[in-house]
Amino acid sequence: MRFIFKTSYDQDIRLARHGGHVFWYGLLVAFLIVAPWVIDEYWLAQLTFVLIYGIVGLGLMLLAGFTGQFSIGHAAFLGAGAYTQGVLTNLGVPFPIALIAAAALSAAVGVVVALPALRVKGIYLGIATLSFGFIVEEVFARWDSVTGGNSGLHVKSPQLFGWSLGSGNGFYFLCLVVAVLSTLGILNLLRSPTGRAFVAIRDSEISAQSMGIHLARYKTMSFAISAALAGLGGALYAHKLSFISPDQFNILQSIDLLLMVVIGGLGSVHGAFLGAIFLIAMPQLISMGKDWLPPVIGQAPGLQGLVYGLVLIAFVLFEPLGLYGRWLKIRTWLQLFPFYRKGLFKRQKSFTKSDRLR
Amino acid sequence: MSSSDILLSAKDLSVRFGGVLAVNKVSFDVRRGEVFTLIGPNGAGKTTVFNLISRIYTPTMGEITWHGEAAGPLALTHQAPHAIAALGIARTFQNIELFEHATVLHNLLIGRHTHRQTGFWSEVFFTPATRRAEIAAREKAERVIELLDLQHHRDSMVAGLPYGVRKVVELARALCTEPKLLLLDEPSSGLNVEETADMAFWIQDIQQELGVSVLMVEHDMSLVSKVSDRVLAMNMGEVLATGTPREVQADARVIEAYLGTVDDVSSLRRVAP
Amino acid sequence: MQILQLLLSGIAQGCIYGLIALGFVLIYKATETVSFAQGDLMMLGAFGAFAGMSLFGLPFWLAAILAVVAMAAFGVLLELVVIRPILGQPQFSIVMLTIGIAYVARGLITMVPGIGTDTHTLAVPYKDQIWKLGGLVVNLEQLAIIIATAILCGLLFAMFRYSKLGIAMQASSQNQLAAYYMGIPVKRLNGLVWGLAAAVAAIAGMLLAPITFVHANMGFIGLKAFPAAVVGGFGSLPGAIVGGLVIGIVESFAGFYLPDGFKDTAPYIVVLLMLMIKPNGLFGEKLRKKV
């Protein structure tokens, strides 16, 4: 069991709270750096996808998990970034500039989406973002001249200072760097006044206001940052797939993103990446497991949807804190062994109480 | 008593919700450094007055003027709700509006928001200036924790804390904004005798050591008598009487509307020193 | 004449949206949770009727009634097994749960060998019949939708107005613990409401089947019902129908008069306008916490 003896406020502010953190995260970073030479190409590609979805998940986690604004149309931002990157790269714009433009444009779309969001809450906000998602998807499909419409858009591979990053190792490192920087940025925000303001808005808007937090400004900021990260992820996504089309950014993709943050663990940065791992690993696990199932189940086209649905239901019912929550429980069990009690993480039984006023 | 003594003044304040006149031509002044209490039966409009000052509601008539700014008197009715804290007015809520999924320390640090000195980009990169600002905020929060004895709850999630502690955290969070005027909505409701006595001491400390003026809504008449400098009694949205605690408690209309008969009140009356 | 034609098809389509939205609003009024599974419950209802007719060889009306009853039972079962344990959790978790239910429903249907992946026709008695009223071409399928919706609304209205159910539902949604204390059988009530919502969805599915045919992705129409519920105001039953009609009519006219692509996005544009002008919908509630 670990006892942390605190002697300075800095220990509470630091990102790595104690030696154990430094050790394990150091190990993780070391593994990620040598990955291209340790694991084979196929799995490296999957890892790259995990990083890309992790970046998007970070954004959605910030918006939904930390600011409490649930966006059911998040794929719109992913698409905005992907298409901006695709169009600009095909026009010959240098890669770093295109990347920044993709993030900036997505952030601008985020600000536009935030406008109705400022006035509504809860399910109305969800429907507003859902609506935006549909409208943006339709724009991708109809604006043939720019986006290539329903026949899709081929995206040239990224060039950085003359190196072709293409797919493979170079691109993997690019994604790794972007993912690490985004994570550090978000972690920094969360331990500063801005991050705390987001959490305040999630927990009680009225008292956040009475503490001097400008609701509109911070909600817009949260949407903008979240959209920028999604746009960044989208840009990398476009290069990775080298071909994008509007139906990759539809409602199903938006729900996948939500699935990712919910199963990962709402309200934690770890949750974004754990959720991304889940999202990429699940189809692999299903196809590996198919061989063991009787053909009538294994070969059925609906199997993936069924498994996703069951896993989602299982998590909401039994593990609302998500994968990260489960990890916390396991870690506590290991730390407190053999004194762990089931009641440590017990959820309070609660009853629905309405916030509505007729 | 010169006008520079007045910190907050309300004049003919009225607010109507549909057909209901919740507050009707209420006028009062809060002087610098005093503890001013609103008493009255439930539904009298006391919390509504608070909500008008915090700009949760907008008055249909009348005005609230803030004299706490060096630049001159400021009409609060034109301010946005989030600007009130920056002026130096903090409040607690009757039914506790804490940030449930954050620790006590986090709640207090959120209270420091109006004193934030860092911009967005310096926070993203967590510059040394941001680090210094964080430590400074933490130090201020720690002083409040020390004043209110919240040390062993510092890292507890608010959602799991008992009611009495949450009331104190509400107070602590309001104090972290370094207010000039503190609005306390029923600070002793739900507290036992010992906790109420602590609350009385804290209110006196806040007034005398921190120099903060207090506007309070309260039902516990012994607490009211102990800490208040002046009292205003309300009923059905209107003012019944204003004056020292003793004067108001002796007022016949107040007794009839709220306190009970003369016989009942004598047991509540503060014993003269 | 063209306008009347468009109006008619808009109203018919709008009734479908309205019925699905009615299901949402019923569940929302009783438990303040939003169910994203209504569209897929509708799809299951349509498949149920189809199965009744093609697998068991039942006549249409019998298959229809059995499908409705079966779906109602399924709704009650769903509530019992899946929804009840998580009541009291944040709204968002419950929404994700219903999304999970929708996935499971779609997945299970697609896995049924042979039937799941194909598109089927439901042999309704009024299929492909057309009346000509003056210059107006009235498709009997559309007429059936409108009449059935009107009857259903009348029944529901009577039930809520003249029984204690409506009040009990509102009480339990506003403060569940207090409703328990008042002797309201909250759990049974929730089960009843889900059963009712599922039954309404099943009826909508059978009405829609002649127009869109029975297939596993029918449920996506349910997504258009959300704008309907928002336009009407989420807490209002008549609002759901009115909202549905508005969306249906807008869609119908947009499809004809506006360029390609606006037909599908028109409902969503309407929603956004509504949220900016009247955030709580036409008949909606005030969402404000009293401090």
Tell me the shortest Cα–Cα distance from C251 to chain A, in angstroms: 14
B128 close to B135: Cβ distance less than 8 angstroms: no
Nearest 5°: phi and psi at B36?
-115, 125
With a pLDDT cut of 70, the percent of chain A lying above it is 93
Judge whether B96 is closer than 8 Å to chain A, CB to CB: no
Inter-chain CB proximity C177 and A353 less than 8 Å = yes
Contact residues on chain C for A317, CB-CB shorter than 8 A: 82, 85-86, 97
- A182-241 pLDDT, tens digit each: 999 999 999 999 999 999 999 999 999 999 999 999 999 999 999 999 999 999 999 988
Q: What is the predicted pLDDT for the residue at A358? A: 36
Among all chains, which residue has been given the structure tokens 């920056």?
A: B86
Which residues of chain B have a CB within 8 Å of the CB of C291?
Answer: 47, 51, 56, 93-95, 97
Chain C CB contacts of A303 below 8 Å: 107, 111
Mutation target to probe the C interface, by most C beta carbons within 10 A, among A313, A348, A355 is A313
- Test the A interface: residue of C41, C80, C92, C236 with most A CBs within 10 Å: C92
- Indicate the pLDDT class of residue A166, thresholds 50, 70 and 90: low
Q: Is B210 exposed, middle or buried (0-12, 13-18, 19+ CB in 10 A)?
A: middle
Do A308 and A279 form a contact (C-beta atoms < 8 A)?
Answer: no
pLDDT along chain C (291 residues), means of 10: 84 90 86 87 90 82 89 92 80 88 90 77 76 76 86 83 78 78 85 91 89 84 87 84 91 86 85 84 68 65
Closest-CA residue of A relative to B100 is: A203
Q: Phi and psi at residue C235, in whole multiples of 5°?
A: -95, 10
**Distance between CA atoms of residues A29 and A164, nearest Å:** 24
Whether residue A234 contacts residue A227, with contact meaning beta carbons closer than 8 Å, is answered with no
Of B110, B112, B132, which to mutate for an interface test with A (greatest number of A Cβ within 10 Å)? B110
Which residue's structure tokens are 């803030």? Answer: B66
Contact A213 B106 (CB under 8 A): no
Least confident of A14-28, A230-244, A264-278, B200-214: A14-28
Q: How many residues does chain A have?
A: 358
Q: Which residue of C has its CA nearest to A118?
A: C276
Of C60, C74, C75, C68, nearest to C210 by C-alpha is C60
- Using alpha carbons, select from B178, B224, B221 the residue that is nearest to residue B203: B224
d(CA A87, CA B93): 53
Residue contact C107–A64, C-beta within 8 A: no
E-only strand ranges, chain A: 153-154, 159-160, 163-164, 243-244
Look at residues C13, C14, C2 and name the one whose alpha carbon lies nearest to residue C240: C14
Q: Which residues contact C185 (CB under 8 A, 6 or more apart)?
A: none
| Chain B CB within 8 Å of residue A86 CB | no
What's the pTM value of the predicted model, to 2 decimals? 0.90
- For residue C85, the chain A residues in CB contact (below 8 A) are 317
Sort out which chain C residues have CB atoms less than 8 A from B51's CB and list them. 291
Backbone angles phi, psi at A67, to 5 degrees: -105, -5
| Integer Cα distance of A297 and C110 in angstroms | 10
pLDDT of residue A352: 56
- What confidence score (pLDDT) does residue B267 get? 65
Residues A17-42, mean pLDDT to the nearest whole number? 87
B51/C contact by beta carbon, under 8 A: yes
Cβ contact C99–A130 (<8 Å): no
The H-or-E segment that residue B115 falls in is: none
Give dist(CA C24, CA C11) in Å, integer: 19
Report d(CA A142, CA A238) in Å as an integer. 19
Question: Does A355 have pLDDT greater than 60?
Answer: no
CB-based contact (8 Å) between B101 and chain A? yes
Do you find a cis peptide bond into C210, omega within 30 degrees of 0? no
Q: Positive or negative, the Cα torsion across B194, B199, B200, B202?
A: positive
Q: Specify the pLDDT at position C141.
A: 80
Determine, for residues A210 and B139 on separate chains, whether the beta-carbon distance falls below 8 Å: no
pLDDT of residue B262: 53
The interface pTM score, or ipTM, of the predicted complex is 0.88
CA–CA separation, A235 vs C44, rounded Å?
Answer: 39
Kindly list the residues from chain A whose CB atom is less than 8 angstroms away from the CB atom of residue B97: 204, 206-207, 210
Q: How many CA atoms lie within 13 A of B151 on its CB side?
A: 4
At how many degrees (to 10) do helices A251-264 and C91-111 cross? 120
Range scoring the smallest mean pLDDT among A248-257, A265-274, B152-161, C156-165 = C156-165
Q: A 57-86 residues with CB below 8 A of C?
A: 64, 70
Closest residue by Cα to residue A179 from A76, A28, A42: A28
Q: Does A185 touch chain B (CB under 8 A)?
A: yes
> Average pLDDT over chain A, rounded to whole?
87
Subunit contact C93:A262, Cβ cutoff 8 A: yes
Q: Which whole number is the average pLDDT over A251-280? A: 93
Closest by Cβ to B54, choosing from A192, A208, A210 = A210
Residue in chain A closest to C291 (alpha carbons) equals: A206
CA distance C83 to chain A (A): 9
Across the interface, of A142, A300, A352, the residue whose CB is closest to C261 is: A142
Q: Residue B258 forms beta bridges with which residues?
A: none
Q: Which phi and psi angles does C184 have, rounded to 5°?
A: -80, 125
Interfacial residues of C (vs B; Cβ cutoff 8 Å): 291
DSSP string, C204-259: HHHHHHHHH-B-GGGGGGHHHHHHHHHHH-TT-HHHHHHHHHHHHHHHHHHHHHSP
* Residue among A127, A206, A351 minimizing CB distance to C271: A127
Going from the C-alpha of A136 to that of each of A110, A155, C32, C223, the distances in angstroms are 12, 20, 29, 16
Condensed to tens digits (0 to 9), the pLDDT of residues C126-166 reads 777 777 777 777 778 888 888 888 888 888 888 777 778 77
Spell out which residues of chain C touch residue B47, defining contact as CB-CB under 8 Å: 291
Distance CA B166, CA B170 (A): 6
What is the predicted pLDDT for the residue at B1?
46
Report how many Cβ contacts below 8 Å link chain B to chain C: 7
* Cross-chain Cβ contact C96/A126 below 8 Å: no
Split at pLDDT 50, 70, 90, the class of A167 is: low
Q: Which residues of B121-141 are buried (b: 16+ CB within 10 A; e: fewer)?
A: ebbbebeeebbebbeebbebb
pLDDT in tens for each of the 273 residues of chain B?
455 689 999 999 999 988 889 999 999 999 999 999 999 988 889 999 999 999 989 999 999 999 988 888 999 888 999 999 999 999 999 888 899 889 999 999 999 999 999 999 999 999 999 999 999 999 999 999 999 999 999 999 998 899 989 999 999 999 999 999 999 999 998 899 999 999 999 999 999 999 999 999 998 989 999 999 999 999 999 999 999 999 998 888 888 888 776 555 666 667 766
Does A65 or B262 have the greater pLDDT score? A65
Q: How crowded is residue A51: how many other Cβ atoms within 10 Å of its Cβ?
A: 25
Does the beta carbon of B173 lie under 8 angstroms from any beta carbon of chain A? yes
Interface test with A, best of C29, C96, C220, C276 (most A CBs within 10 A): C96
B95 in contact with chain C, both atoms CB, cutoff 8 A: yes
Using a CB-CB cut-off of 8 Å, the residues of chain A touching B134 are 9, 13, 191-192
Contact present, C152 and C21 (Cβ < 8 Å): no
Coil, strand or helix: which one is B69? Answer: coil
What backbone phi and psi angles, to 5 degrees, belong to C287? -100, 90
Residues forming a β-bridge with B15: B23
* Structure letter (DSSP) for residue C54: H
Q: Which chain C residue lies closest to A266 (C-alpha atoms)?
A: C93
Chain-chain contact of B110 with A200 (C-beta, under 8 angstroms): yes
Query: Could you give the angle at which helices A169-190 and A41-60 cross, rounded to 10 degrees?
Result: 20
Check CB contact of B256 with chain C, cutoff 8 Å.
Answer: no
Give the angle B165-B169-B173 at the CA atoms, nearest 5°. 175
- Which H helix or E strand runs over B25? strand B20-31
The answer to whether A188 contacts chain B (CB < 8 Å) is: yes
Chain C hits for A259, CB-CB cut-off 8 Å, are: 96, 99
Cα separations (Å) of B9 from A1, B13, B52, B184?
A: 57, 10, 12, 17
